[in-house]
Structure 1
Amino acid sequence: MSELNKLSPIKAAEQFINDYFRDCQGALLAGSVVRGEATETSDLDIVIFDKHLTSSYRQSLVKYDWAIEIFVHSPTSYKHFFKLDFELARPSMQRMVSEGIIIKDDEILASIKQEATDQLNKGPEEWSIETIDTKRYFITDALDDFIGCSNRAEELFIANTLAELVSEFVLRTNKQWTGASKWVIRSLRNYDEVFTDQFVKAFDMFYKNGDKNLVIHLVDETLEPFGGRLFDGFSLGKN
């Protein structure tokens, strides 16, 4: 099939369900094609609900010139993944279900979509003071390594760790969902555009020319409302 004749995302999803999951009770097309963020390498994310299944599974395949990822569940097994994603504060399953375009529905999807939307709107569990202090300690530890390191190869990986720790800290202390990979920056932008620009500029400056000052300032600003850097007196697991 040529690019000109390639099926649209919705048509391809409909064809896939008709060809391979005709007897399912519900199917949703989700992902970047639904959000209007598709690129040349985007695939189709299809969430499928089938009462004949006893367990969930995920599968990747190519059909109709589309890379397709399917997430197949029974009408109840998705709840386990909702729970896991909620505990990780990375609600990928909830997002797919909430934003998904209905491809097929035997009147089961309204309640599942509402459940996903309610969880997204509620946000993740609030961090305890103990968790915040633990995270402060690990950020401080990484920052000290970053400041003291003079090995460029090691600095790159310390910076990566620091970026992950700081982005998580900012989001979780503000009761926001986190993410992985591209969803880190998307989650930050969803929370605070100004901070995100500052965050990107700081790390971009370091990666381009090795200047650590903006990163150090960013980290200290992030920790300051919670007591700043933490090392002296911190303990973990002491009775």
Structure 2
Amino acid sequence: MNVKFKEAYDIVVSELSEMKEVTGVLFFGSVQRGEETETSDLDFYATVSGKEGWNYKKIVKGIPVEIYFFPSNYWNNALQRNHQIMIAFAEGTVVLNRHIEINELCNKARSLFEKGPKSLTNLEINNWRIKLTELALDLEGISDNQSLESKVYIGIAVSEALQAYFAFNKMWYHKLGRIPESIINQDRVLSKLISDLSSSGENDIENIITLIDHILQSNGGRLEEYNGPRVSVEVDT
């Protein structure tokens, strides 16, 4: 951690240590991993006594800081529901420990992380195939490669396609900035397609369609026709 972030980090940790309701603090994110950039912020999760939860954002010595405060039972449930929170506890560093619960959360998160995501059901696989097929068809219908609409849509398509890839391959989906490092040894063809996409300029649409079709290729290809089971959900009236 460079001096720019260390000064802000020390102030925040000192402030948190003075809050009696705080029982534990987890430091996570790009700065914690030593991958910070000029625009990075400091990210913390805190366990607290009582039943209330809150969060706040602030600027400390010019560094954005974001802290979420919740009781341990909230974090325990969140580990199961939100894999980004689970990854944070699995990879993060405990910087304040007044109760065993913060370490228990980290141990549980590491166990869940090592097990990996659940296998997709046939319905989930086909739902991803439908979504990627629709994305590819929509991209093929875009005529202006340089329009603002196309650039926004390409960004959405890349995110959706990579989420599908991770789901298909039972891999945890990280934030976009960390995805290439997760893929490079898993699928060198896809890694090359991502690299080409980031430097292609005029051929972005063609490259993202190729990327989508590459991901679909190992999972049955584009879905041209599908009559899956009807899924019922309750709605408020």
Provide the TM-score with structure 2 as the length reference: 0.81
Question: 1:234 aligned to 2:226?
Answer: yes
Q: 1:78-93 alignment to 2 at 5 Å?
A: 78-85=75-82, 91-93=83-85
| 1:160-239 correspondence runs (5 A) | 160-179=155-174, 183-193=175-185, 194-204=188-198, 206=200, 208-210=201-203, 212-231=205-224, 233-235=225-227
Given the superposition, is the C-alpha separation of residues 78 and 106 from structure 1 closer, same or farther in structure 2, using an over 3 Å criterion? same
Q: Does 1:122 align with 2:122?
A: no
Instruction: Decide whether aligned partners of structure 1 residues 61 and 197 sit closer, same or farther in structure 2, where only a CA change above 3 A counts.
Output: same
Instruction: Answer whether contact 1:176 1:191 (CA < 8 A) is retained.
Output: no
Following the alignment from structure 1 to structure 2, what is the Cα–Cα distance between the partners of residues 81 and 5? 32
Structure 2 distance, partners of 1:221, 1:174, is 13
- Residue 121 of structure 1 deviates from its aligned partner by 1.4
Structure 1: runs of 5 or more not aligned: 86-90
Select the residue among 20, 23, 26 that pairs with 2:24. 26
Structure 2 CA distance for aligned equivalents of residues 24 and 185 of structure 1: 31
Structure 2 residue aligned with 1:72: 69
Deviation at 1:171, TM superposition (A): 0.7
Contact 1:56 / 1:78 at 8 angstroms: preserved in 2? no
The alpha-carbon deviation at position 81 of structure 1 amounts to 1.9
Structure 1 Cα separation of the partners of residues 23 and 227 of structure 2: 52
Match of 2:44 in 1: 46
Is there any run of 5+ residues in structure 2 with no aligned partner, and where? Answer: 232-237
C-alpha distance 222-28 of structure 1, shift in aligned 2 (>3 A): closer
Q: Does residue 1:103 correspond to 2:98, yes or no?
A: no
**Aligned residues: percent identity?**
20
Structure-2 change in CA distance of 1:35 and 1:149 (3 Å): same
Residues paired across the two proteins, number: 225
Please report how far the alpha carbon of residue 80 of structure 1 lies from its aligned counterpart in structure 2 after TM superposition.
Answer: 2.8
Supply the distance in 1 between the matched residues of 2:211 and 2:127 (Cα, whole angstroms): 19
Aligned equivalents of 2:90, 2:29: Cα separation in 1 = 11
Deviation, structure 1 residue 128: 1.1
Are the counterparts in 2 of residues 145 and 158 from structure 1 also a CA contact under 8 Å? no
